[in-house]
């Protein structure tokens, strides 16, 4: 019998690799090595945990760079180099994420993606030919302007002066100068890992949809939306690239637009990218049971979350194999979740009633025990 275990991280407690190992430990208590083959392939969907999952799954390495956070303070941010030594993976939130700005200082008018540009430069220093950038958890609304400036580009006002960092300053943009932009960007492929399809501006754009969680009031949202619309117009005027209505341009406060405008980037579904680079479909060949999971499985799972992607891949490669998800928390609508995702059954992992801190602390034990009980059921059904 062959088990393929392909979970995402259980946020706040375990990485995808740790969760997968916990599941494998539980299964091994029922199926020894002589009775079953177990493959653990960590997964992610382009959000938090993508770097760690891809590094773990490909035997890559984790690196650290000193970069500037959204407010310009120097922080240490991680990025990864995959096992092929040709592909770097970055989470923009590692440099430009909400975790750096508490509610008292959140202000998307001034936060910047400059640190994300510095992370890209650090990856280029590793002589890679490809960069995967996960967009999610952004504290910014600057359309990727800071990233562009960190990579050598210039955003000039009518007096020829460099714009200040942040989304509000984009209203003063008069000219985009790419003459000093890092030339290595022309030789590297950039793949944007995101399932956000929002355009750059308008009612469904970056400012209106994501601005409130970054501290924007209605007045600030209008200001930022106007600034991004002006920014897009100058990009079209100076570079001939129309970004304003591109699906995904509004991801990460418009970083999607900046990447599409200033680099050779393509927009990709995050979970599909991870499945490709981890070789999950190859590992699924001849699988009898597929286990996946993450911290929470709910109706949002069908919108490109990891368990959905794993289930879809499994149904394509081994349609007869049951797909079982383990979840730290299960939202309402289990029947709809299973019908919409291709997951055959979902089991919650916390054992007994307990506080959230206790549940996070017990995650390894509880996931392992739940997987063991699933394996016992499978073994009984075999007999």
The per-residue pLDDT for range 95-150, each reduced to its tens digit, is 999 999 988 888 999 999 999 999 999 999 999 999 999 998 899 999 999 999 99
Q: How many percent of the chain have pLDDT more than 90?
A: 88
CB 135 within 8 A of CB 255: yes
Q: How many percent of the chain have pLDDT more than 70?
A: 100
Element (H, E) at 232: helix 218-239
CA–CA gap between residue 107 and residue 86 (Å, rounded)? 37
Closest by Cα among 309, 203, 187, 185 to 258: 185
- Average pLDDT for residues 281-300, to the nearest whole number? 95
Q: Under 8 Å CB-to-CB from 372, ≥6 apart: which residues?
A: 26, 27, 29, 30
Number of C-beta neighbours around residue 99 at 10 A = 13
Task: Give the right CATH number for 2-41+280-382 from 3.10.20.30, 3.40.50.10350, 3.90.1150.10, 3.30.70.20.
Answer: 3.40.50.10350
Per-residue pLDDT at 44:
92
Q: Under 8 Å CB-to-CB from 352, ≥6 apart: which residues?
A: none
pLDDT at 185 exceeding the cut of 90: yes
Per-residue pLDDT at 104:
80
pLDDT at 196 exceeding the cut of 90: no
User: Tens of pLDDT along 297-325?
Assistant: 998 888 889 999 999 999 999 999 999 99
CATH fold for domain 50-270: Glycerate kinase, domain 2 (3.90.1510)
Confidence band of 382 (pLDDT split at 50, 70, 90)? confident
Per-residue pLDDT at 58:
94
pLDDT at 12 exceeding the cut of 90: no
Residue with tokens 């750059």: 200
Could you tell me where the beta strands, DSSP code E, fall in the chain? Answer: 2-5, 37-40, 61-68, 74-81, 87-91, 130-134, 154-156, 175-177, 189-193, 265-268, 289-297, 323-330, 345-348
pLDDT at 87 exceeding the cut of 90: yes
pLDDT at 152 exceeding the cut of 90: yes
* Alpha-carbon distances, residue 184 vs 121, 249, 292 (angstroms): 9, 23, 38
- Average pLDDT for residues 271-296, to the nearest whole number? 95
Spatial strand order of the sheet with 345-348 comes to 37-40, 2-5, 289-297, 323-330, 345-348
DSSP letter for each residue of 43-68 = ---SSTTHHHHHHHHHT-EEEEEEEE
CB 323 within 8 A of CB 314: yes
Give the burial class of 33: count Cβ atoms within 10 A of its Cβ; 0-12 exposed, 13-18 middle, 19 or more buried.
exposed
pLDDT at 9 exceeding the cut of 90: yes
User: Tens of pLDDT along 224-244?
Assistant: 999 999 999 999 999 999 999
The CATH 3.90.1510.10 domain(s) of the chain lie at 50-270
pLDDT at 11 exceeding the cut of 90: no
């Amino acid at each position: 019998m062959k088990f393929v275990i392909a979970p995402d991280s259980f946020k706040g407690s375990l990485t995808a690799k740790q969760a997968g190992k916990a599941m494998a430990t539980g299964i091994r208590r029922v199926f020894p090595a002589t009775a079953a083959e177990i493959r653990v392939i960590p997964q992610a969907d382009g959000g938090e945990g993508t770097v760690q999952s891809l590094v773990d799954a490909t035997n890559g390495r984790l690196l650290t760079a000193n970069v500037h956070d959204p407010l310009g303070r120097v922080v240490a941010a991680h990025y990864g180099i995959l096992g092929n030594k040709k592909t770097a993976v970055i989470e923009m939130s590692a440099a430009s994420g909400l975790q750096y700005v508490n509610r008292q200082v959140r202000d998307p008018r001034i936060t910047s993606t400059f640190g994300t540009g510095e992370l890209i430069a650090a990856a280029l220093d590793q002589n890679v030919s490809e960069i995967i950038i996960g967009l999610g958890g952004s504290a910014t609304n600057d359309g990727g302007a800071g990233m562009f400036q960190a990579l050598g580009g210039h955003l000039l006002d009518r007096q020829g002066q460099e714009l200040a960092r942040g989304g509000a300053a984009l209203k003063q943009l008069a000219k985009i100068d790419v003459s000093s932009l890092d030339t290595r960007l022309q030789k590297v492929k950039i793949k944007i890992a995101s399932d956000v399809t929002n355009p750059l501006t308008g009612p469904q754009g970056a400012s209106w949809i994501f601005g409130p969680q970054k501290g924007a009031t209605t007045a600030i949202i209008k200001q930022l939306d106007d600034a991004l619309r002006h920014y897009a117009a100058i990009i079209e005027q100076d570079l001939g690239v129309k970004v304003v209505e591109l699906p995904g341009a509004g991801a990460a406060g418009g970083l999607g637009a900046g990447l599409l405008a200033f680099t050779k980037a393509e927009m990709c579904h995050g979970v599909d990218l991870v499945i490709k680079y981890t070789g999950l479909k190859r590992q699924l060949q001849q699988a009898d049971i597929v286990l996946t999971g993450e911290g929470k499985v709910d109706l949002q799972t069908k919108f490109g979350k990891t368990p959905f992607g794993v289930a879809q891949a499994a149904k394509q490669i081994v349609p007869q194999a049951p797909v079982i998800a383990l979840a730290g928390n299960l939202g309402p609508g289990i029947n709809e979740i299973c019908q919409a995702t291709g997951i055959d059954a979902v089991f919650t992992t916390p054992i007994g009633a307990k506080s959230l801190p206790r549940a996070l602390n017990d995650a390894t034990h509880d996931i392992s025990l739940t997987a063991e009980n699933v394996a016992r059921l499978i073994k009984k059904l075999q007999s």
